[in-house]
Structure 1
Amino acid sequence: MGFDATYKRNKYMCPLVVFSGINHHNQTIIFAAVLICDEEKDTYRWLLQQLKVAMNGKPHVSVITDGDLSMKFAIEKEFPNAHHRLYAWHLIRNATSNIGKPQFTSMFKKCMLCDFEIDVFRQKWFEMVEGFGVENKNWVLDMYKKRHSWATAHIRGKFFAGFRTTSRCEGLNSIIAKYVNSRHNLVEFIQRFNRCVDHIRWKEVQADLTSVNGRPSMQTYFQQLERSAANVYTLSVFYMFQPIFVQAASMKVINMKQTGSYVIYSIGLDRMPNEMWRVFCCDIEMEFNCSCIRMESFGIPCEHIVCVLVHEDIEELPRSLVLPRWTKTAKVGLQNAVGFQWDSLMLSQYGCLMDWFRQLANFACQDNKRFIFTREMAMNLLKQFKEEDAAQKELVNDADSVRDDVQVNAFGTGLATNDLGHSMPRDPKKCRIKGGLHSPIKENIDVDSVAWRATIEQLVVFVVAFHS
């Protein structure tokens, strides 16, 4: 999950916090978004608490931030078992500003992003800092202490789904900017931000349709194995996986050793005889583990495991190597998950129906009679359901009118009702910020905290996205 507050502030100087993630098409999606009055520790803790409620208590496994200390504190308190990673872009920028040597920044980037073993990383790090004479720099010493939060060598095996730079957040911010700007008040923000969320959902629907109908071409001699991956993975994920088949073609099994129920394969390249990887295979369970730990990090088998599959003439990708969150049935499979609350079940059922209706539409539009029949059935069902909902709303009309009473405090903030009788947030007082736009001081915010929280609770836009 990306935890980002870098999007520009609104007309009340309130920062927008966006919680983002990755769906089964490797697209950036929004988990939640909220306007906050300050960037204090308690505020961020409250946000994460609300996020946990919206996700039915499901904790996040991985969180990535820009290194803000208040965010770090909140994550440690609310998601103590989550892996906290720092955005690569911010670290590269800090390396440039603190050291001021382009060659150092380039080498630092390699140390951060390259898939080194820990011993190799340590060797390259000390060679780099000694070579540039910066071993006593406070920033360098601090970065080495925090290496478990940014160095790929130390993060290997922790699942981040390839989320490591701010490029995703920057791309998401550019989409948000098309719908929301600093001139909008709170009501306009809600309306326009919902359009942004609808756009992101529509992109996912398009990707679903492409995955159902897409037929990628095979690129290697392992066509049966490659095709089985194409049948299971979404199209976007398969295109991420396909180059791994090409890389596996240049590898070979150099040695194999039976140890109890496990077989240990030594995998190498012809041109690099000294570099070896070990793949552990359990014959009974058909489970594979590689010393590179990329399966655990990205959820996609590495070229070393694929090499073993080819060597053993396995023509179908084993289930143990297929992470459900990358598959075409990622949303459908959640409808039978145990322990989900009603809201979650409803969303998963929505995803299931969307998949069936897309397939139905694909067949119905090919024939005019089918189209007319399907259209009439859909319109009749829609009319019936609307009439049932309207009758149900009449029964609870009195309760709704009580619940939608105006709640306004002395400052004029809080909740009001619109023309339809639904509660709407009133505009808060503008935050007075001391020390510039990027230094909000909690004591100088001229707004009642209780009323502000009541307003914010109306602004939290939770878009629940489930991952296995």
Structure 2
Amino acid sequence: MQSENSGFFCSIQVDSKNCVSNAVWVDARARMSYTYFGDAVYFDTTYSQNENMAPVAAFTGVNHHGDTVVFGCALILDRTESSYGWIFETWLAAMDRRLPFSFTTDEGKGMAAAVAKVFPQCFHRLCRWRILSRCKKKLTDVYTRFPGFHDELKRCINGCDTVPVFDMFWGSILDKYGLRDDTWLQSLYEIRHKWVPAYLTSSFFAELSLTHRVETVSRFHRNNFSARVSLSTFINRFEQHMDSLYANEAQKDIISFPLEQLLKTNTVLEKQAASIYTRSAFETFQAELIEALQHFAIKVQDGPYMKYCVERDGNPPTRHTILYSVAEEKAWCECCRFAFSAIPCRHVLRVFVLAGVIMIPEPCTTKRWTKKAKTGPELIGLNVGNESGSANDVASRYNDLVHDAMKCAEKGAVSAGAFRFAKEVLRKAFMEIKGLGEKLNTNDMHSAVANR
């Protein structure tokens, strides 16, 4: 495959017997997507739940439409700390050593240790959906006797946006169902700062919704890959699946909807959001705005940083404190939802409405969820350094050119006219580059003859 696609990256690790132990592969499209949406990465190891599935994991993220995007895959035959370390290091090298802001994985001491070594500057989170799924197996008797238990547990985890409210709700569930002495739930509570949203307020996770899980590649794995399917067959099927994901993203990029079909409040804030956000991001903003209009806000402190209290129906658990600076055009809410998802929360929006803020302040929007997410400078987080890469390095120049070519391909594929124009421009550019190369070769030959 690497010979067929020069933008394809693949690295294989072998053991002492020269047998494959692990592998990592990334294609040019995955690299391109990572430059835009690599701020939050999920290492999907769904295969470990089913012994009949071959051990193929995926590095995934979320694009500006709220859909899954794949950043690469790994074959894991040796599940040790050193193997995970090699996989993460190899993948990071394929991504020019650009770190995400957050890195989400399943539980596991070996994996956690590898993440700490390779991604020390990233916030490492455990996947709460995998933890909820495991709860069903660990608490089978409770689930059987109390059909409503799972929904209550999900509401507690996903619906509580501050630590005190979560702790209160969690405790009430333990008391209601007599689970104070359950060792499984005790172990989960001890690591709550690694997976409960109320505790994860210091990093970005690219989640538009806490209650709706983005479709991962796990369903594709279950339907297409078992231990009886060869790796080459799976990779071909996966490439087809990737094609469909990119086609879906391109289709959503060019689809537009009349504003009158989307608006529900007819406020300027909503109209502005509809004009800048993608459909999925706008719907999240819209839901927050509608909720904001159901909340009550009161200013409790004046000054450079005004303090507001916002709550709904006089219900104390819904009460939040917001600081708002007119000079900085910034607002901070104790729910910290903006840091988590980069969409203004209902409490901040309620303060904006009360304060007469007509347009969403620029500091309260991020390009990541907008229709222009894939234009201009990329978003991705931290560069941990690539000492071998430079303007004089062939590999670096090659990767840079592939990146630009992928941009041309994205824009040129949206219509037949754009396709024809892009093909002609690329053909002319190729002929000019080819001519330059032949001229340089001729000059080099003349120089060599003259120096004899």
TM-score of Structure 1 vs Structure 2, range by shorter chain:
0.7 to 0.9
| Aligned residue in 2 for 1:26 | 66
| Aligned residue in 1 for 2:254 | 209
After superposition, the Cα gap between the structure-2 partners of 1:175 and 1:189, relative to the gap in structure 1 and judged at 3 Å, is closer
Letter in 2 for 1:136: D
| Aligned residue in 2 for 1:42 | 82
1:87-236 matches, within 5 Å, as: 87-99=127-139, 100-102=141-143, 103=146, 104-162=149-207, 167-168=213-214, 171-175=216-220, 182=227, 184-210=229-255, 213-217=256-260, 218-236=262-280
Letter in 2 for 1:226: E
| Aligned residue in 2 for 1:327 | 370
Q: Secondary structure at the match of 1:160?
A: coil
Letter in 1 for 2:351: V
Letter in 1 for 2:271: R
Q: Encode CA deviations 1:353-385: one digit per residue, 9 max, x unaligned.
A: 4675578x5xxx7xxxxx6xx776555434434
Q: Encode CA deviations 1:414-464: one digit per residue, 9 max, x unaligned.
A: xxxxxxxxxxxxxxxxxxxxxxxxxxxxxxxxxxxxxxxxxxxxxxxxxxx
* TM-score normalised to structure 2 length: 0.72
CA contact (8 A) 1:112 1:151 kept: yes
Letter in 1 for 2:291: Q
Q: Encode CA deviations 1:234-281: one digit per residue, 9 max, x unaligned.
A: 12211221112211222233224223x212222233454784322211
Q: Encode CA deviations 1:341-363: one digit per residue, 9 max, x unaligned.
A: 6567546645654675578x5xx
CA contact (8 A) 2:263 2:271 kept: no
1:65-464 matches, within 5 Å, as: 65-99=105-139, 100-102=141-143, 103=146, 104-162=149-207, 167-168=213-214, 171-175=216-220, 182=227, 184-210=229-255, 213-217=256-260, 218-259=262-303, 261-272=304-315, 275-334=318-377, 345-346=400-401, 349-350=404-405, 353=408, 357=412, 361=415, 377-385=421-429, 387=431
- Offset, 1:14: 5.0
- What is the distance in 2 between the residues matched to 1:315 and 1:182? 57
- What is the distance in 1 between the residues matched to 2:217 and 2:294? 37
After superposition, the Cα gap between the structure-2 partners of 1:307 and 1:344, relative to the gap in structure 1 and judged at 3 Å, is farther
- What is the distance in 2 between the residues matched to 1:109 and 1:9? 21
Q: Structure 1: 5+ residue runs without aligned partners? A: 366-370, 396-468
- What is the distance in 1 between the residues matched to 2:246 and 2:92? 22
Letter in 1 for 2:45: A
- What is the distance in 2 between the residues matched to 1:81 and 1:221? 41
Given the alignment, which residue of 88, 99, 123 partners 1:59? 99
CA contact (8 A) 2:47 2:54 kept: no
Q: Structure 2: 5+ residue runs without aligned partners? A: 1-40, 386-395, 440-452
CA contact (8 A) 1:88 1:166 kept: no
CA contact (8 A) 2:43 2:104 kept: yes
- What is the distance in 2 between the residues matched to 1:323 and 1:334? 13
- What is the distance in 1 between the residues matched to 2:400 and 2:104? 28
CA contact (8 A) 1:10 1:184 kept: no
* TM-score normalised to structure 1 length: 0.70
- What is the distance in 2 between the residues matched to 1:312 and 1:130? 42
Q: Secondary structure at the match of 2:169?
A: helix
Q: Secondary structure at the match of 1:329?
A: coil
- Over the residues paired in the alignment, what is the CA RMSD in angstroms? 3.7
- What is the distance in 2 between the residues matched to 1:195 and 1:18? 15
CA contact (8 A) 1:7 1:15 kept: yes
Q: Encode CA deviations 1:86-117: one digit per residue, 9 max, x unaligned.
A: 33333234333333212354443333222243
- What is the distance in 1 between the residues matched to 2:223 and 2:136? 31
- What is the distance in 2 between the residues matched to 1:11 and 1:115? 35
Q: Secondary structure at the match of 1:332?
A: coil
- What is the distance in 2 between the residues matched to 1:343 and 1:165? 42
Letter in 2 for 1:4: D
- What is the distance in 2 between the residues matched to 1:352 and 1:382? 12
Moved more, 146-155 or 187-196: 187-196
- What is the distance in 2 between the residues matched to 1:318 and 1:354? 34
- What is the distance in 1 between the residues matched to 2:350 and 2:53? 55
Quote the sequence identity (%): 26
- Offset, 1:152: 2.4
